[in-house]
Amino acid sequence: MKDFAVYTLLRLGLFLLTWAAVVGAWLLIWSTPAYGLTFLIAFVLSGIGSYYVLHGPRERLARHVEDRAGRATSRIDEMRSREDAD
C-alpha cells in the first residue's frame, strides 16, 4: 500500500508541476488562460514525463503487486490441493 501511495502522490505532484509550467508558458504567450486546453497538454506531458522520471517508484510498485499476486496464487493452489486430498 505504501508503494501505491508514494507512486500516486509523485504522479499527482508531477502533473501539478507540469500543469503550472504549461499555464505559465501559456500566459506568457497569450494573456487569457485556457485551463481546459492547458490541462490536456499537461496531462499528456506529465504522462510522458512520468515514464522516464518515475521509473524507480513504478518498478517498486510493480514488484510489490507481483509478489502479492504470487502469494495469493500459492494460497489458492494450496487450498485446491487440500480439497483434492479430501
Give the mean pLDDT of 63-73. 88
Confidence of residue 77 (pLDDT cuts 50, 70, 90): confident
Q: How far apart are CA 67 and CA 61, in angstroms?
A: 10
Q: How far apart are CA 17 and CA 37, in angstroms?
A: 16
Give percent of the chain with pLDDT exceeding 90. Answer: 59
Confidence of residue 86 (pLDDT cuts 50, 70, 90): low
3-state class (DSSP) for residue 34 = coil
Question: How do residues 19-57 score in pLDDT, each as one tens digit?
Answer: 999 999 999 999 888 999 999 999 999 999 999 999 999
